[in-house]
Structure 1
Amino acid sequence: MEPSLVPPAAISVLLLLLLLTPAAAWRPWPHLAKSNASDDALVADSKKYEGSSEFVHLKYHMGPVLTANITVHIIWYGTWQRNQKKIIREFINSVSAPHSKSPSVSGWWRTVQLYTDQTGANISSTVRLGEEKNDRFYSHGKSLTRMSIQSVIKSAVTAKSRPLPINARNGLYLLLTSDDVYVENFCGQVCGFHYFTFPSIVGYTLPYAWIGNSEKLCPGVCAYPFAVPSYIPGLKPMKSPNGDVGVDGMISVIAHEVAELASNPLVNAWYAGGDPIAPVEIADLCEGIYGTGGGGSYTGQLMDGHDGATYNMNGIRRRYLVQWVWNHVVNYCTGPNALDQ
């Protein structure tokens, strides 16, 4: 008997569903058992420490990486306080700040720079803050889907007044949503994700990422360790370094997505696994690892400031907690605050 053929319309729908699966910044903590949780459960998965493993096969798939000077354009969606914007702006500016106190954000970026394209050119050492667009009136509502996120970006780059510049070669577009905005799969599965825009919607192919402020919706999931899930008794949250739990939690997710956008902007460059629809990228491999000894749900060795705040690296003037990224040269997660450096 001849196999039955799938109707062309069904194939089109399937392809669309596959294309709409962006690379994501996953958070492991909500998947811990919600009953009988204990301190032992929190570290039970910590077998690899800094993520080292001979079983990780990160490969280069011949796609482009961002070798030219990188410009980050921000869309502020919803209601943002001035100080919240300052925290995020300084983090982005700190990526290329050469004279920050060690361990530094720029030291963290040097691991990202190790990745190259097919010509041997490294990811750029220069990351600068570009233009910004405010969408304070929630142009697409307070509940966004993955598709409507692309529509928000389209509105920003085609606005009649001060549109964001089109920079397909070395521009990154960050859509940051305020704490009263829900995005599809937020909290339950993701705290942020990255992909590229579709010309059919936006008019251009632009690498972008979405990251949400989780302070009102799920801080125990997306702002850990500055907030902890209610189902883990006895675990106290750490003090955030900039006094804003939601934004301090966003910083590591922003770092996660920017590192992966630089090394895999069109989802065809650096990733592990054989499925480009669900790639395991350089920050995914080190999810939740912030210091020496980290693994499972243990952050690793961190630093405490005189004010009691917890952080692991310095920016230009501020302190941040940023997850490590995978170093394909030594085949494990690395960061500037490693104790063996």
Structure 2
Amino acid sequence: MPNNIPLRFLPLFLTINVIIALALVAPAWSNELNQISQDTKLTYHGGALLTKQRTINIFLVWYGAFSPKDRTTIDNFFASLSPDEGSGRAGQEPAVSTWWKAISSYKDKAGNPVPCTVKVVKQLDDAYSLGKNLKRAQIANYIQSKIASKTLPLDSNVVYFVLTAKDVKVERFCMGSCGFHDSIPVPGKGRLAYSHVGDPSVQCPGLCAWPYAVPAYGPPGRPLLAPNGIGADGMVINIATVLAGAATNPFKTGYFQGDALAPLEAVTACPGIFGAGAYPGYPGDLKVDKGSKASYNAFGASGGKFLLPAIWDPMSSQCEVIA
């Protein structure tokens, strides 16, 4: 059974919105959220992390049709993760790279930290070769076949990302998952991490692009304006969540709380928290662009602006927001 990142990743959306439906008084839930954060404790289970090299290599598969604008947004986000690019040309803070640097506090049993550098090594376009309805097992088999044919490189410190377009339906996507990570066996290399994130803009924006879209239930409220578009910004939030989980718990033996098959991980342990003062239904205090009125909390490469979720800090044992 795959490692369901959202799995609890839907607390970003499902759990939060169920709670919202039960109560409308926000301040009371602020205390509840603080209690959840205090009760969360990710345990290191002694397994491997993505610490074999100084860089986590990313191989991207663009499955289906993506707009050039959305591709540029996601490319810029990946470029922003590394220290040399993360704060953009103007050196603005808080930066995407600063957010990712928090992951380096996760260390393996030898004391090696998760690398601060993330690099997209290769990208592959696929025009619906498996159709528009995919099972999770097909995604795993797809990655294995591309490695076997040498279409995708073989690497020991890698995450193979399959990104699906808005018209592609993936098993359990929008039904209990906004993305997931798991691993596949590769002869001579043990197991390698792979993941899936889909474009939620058509299928479930209120679930997998919150707070840039609102669900059909819960108290009334307006969604925030997305700096790059609901689909792309929803994918960025989910890519960030999945990548953090894959780096710190790639084989279900790293850092997590709860059931190994449905764990709370580095980001999913902090559901729905994006800024200070967050509570269920309210993402927290964010920056707002003066011109577009779009909300965000981090600067990236090429002037990009992104919204990134809180990360559970193993040093402070708390959910930390970028600031």
From 226, 242, 246, the equivalent of 2:231 is 246
Partner of 1:12: none
Q: Against the structure 1 CA distance between its residues 111 and 50, is the aligned structure 2 distance closer, same or farther, given a 3 Å change threshold?
A: farther
Partner of 2:252: 267
Please tell me the residue identity of whatever aligns with 1:144.
L
- Tell me, yes or no, if the aligned pair for 1:311 and 1:319 is still in contact at 8 Å: yes
From 163, 172, 178, the equivalent of 1:191 is 178
TM-superposition CA deviations, 1:45-69 (whole Å, max 9, x none): 4325467644323211111112221
In structure 1, stretches of 5+ residues that fail to align are 1-19
Distance 2:233 2:153 in 1: 28
Partner of 1:173: 160
- Tell me, yes or no, if the aligned pair for 1:71 and 1:130 is still in contact at 8 Å: yes
Distance 1:35 1:54 in 2: 18
Partner of 2:221: 235
- Tell me, yes or no, if the aligned pair for 1:51 and 1:285 is still in contact at 8 Å: no
Alignment length, in residue pairs? 310
- 1:258 Cα deviation after fit: 0.7
TM-superposition CA deviations, 1:169-204 (whole Å, max 9, x none): 21111110000011111112110011101449xx96
- Tell me, yes or no, if the aligned pair for 1:50 and 1:333 is still in contact at 8 Å: no
Distance 2:137 2:204 in 1: 22
Partner of 2:201: 215
Larger-Rg structure: 1
Q: Against the structure 1 CA distance between its residues 36 and 314, is the aligned structure 2 distance closer, same or farther, given a 3 Å change threshold?
A: closer
Partner of 1:310: 295
Over the aligned positions, Cα root-mean-square deviation in angstroms equals 2.4
Distance 2:74 2:321 in 1: 20
Partner of 1:107: 98
Partner of 1:278: 262
The answer to whether residue 69 in structure 2 is matched with residue 88 in structure 1 is: no
TM-score where L is the length of structure 1: 0.84
TM-superposition CA deviations, 1:113-157 (whole Å, max 9, x none): 101011111111111111011111x11111111111112223432
Most deviating of 307-316 and 35-44:
35-44
Please tell me the residue identity of whatever aligns with 1:327.
D
SS of the residue aligned with 1:248?
helix
SS of the residue aligned with 1:130?
strand
Partner of 1:120: 111
Distance 1:71 1:109 in 2: 14
Partner of 1:146: 136
- Tell me, yes or no, if the aligned pair for 2:17 and 2:215 is still in contact at 8 Å: no
Most deviating of 304-313 and 25-34:
25-34
- Tell me, yes or no, if the aligned pair for 1:51 and 1:332 is still in contact at 8 Å: no
Distance 2:22 2:257 in 1: 32
Q: Against the structure 1 CA distance between its residues 332 and 211, is the aligned structure 2 distance closer, same or farther, given a 3 Å change threshold?
A: same
Q: Against the structure 1 CA distance between its residues 176 and 333, is the aligned structure 2 distance closer, same or farther, given a 3 Å change threshold?
A: same
- Tell me, yes or no, if the aligned pair for 1:312 and 1:320 is still in contact at 8 Å: yes
Q: Against the structure 1 CA distance between its residues 33 and 113, is the aligned structure 2 distance closer, same or farther, given a 3 Å change threshold?
A: closer
The answer to whether residue 157 in structure 2 is matched with residue 157 in structure 1 is: no
TM-superposition CA deviations, 1:65-87 (whole Å, max 9, x none): 12221111101111112221111
Once the two structures are aligned, what percentage of the paired residues are identical?
Answer: 34
TM-superposition CA deviations, 1:249-297 (whole Å, max 9, x none): 1101100111111111111011123x32222211111121101111323
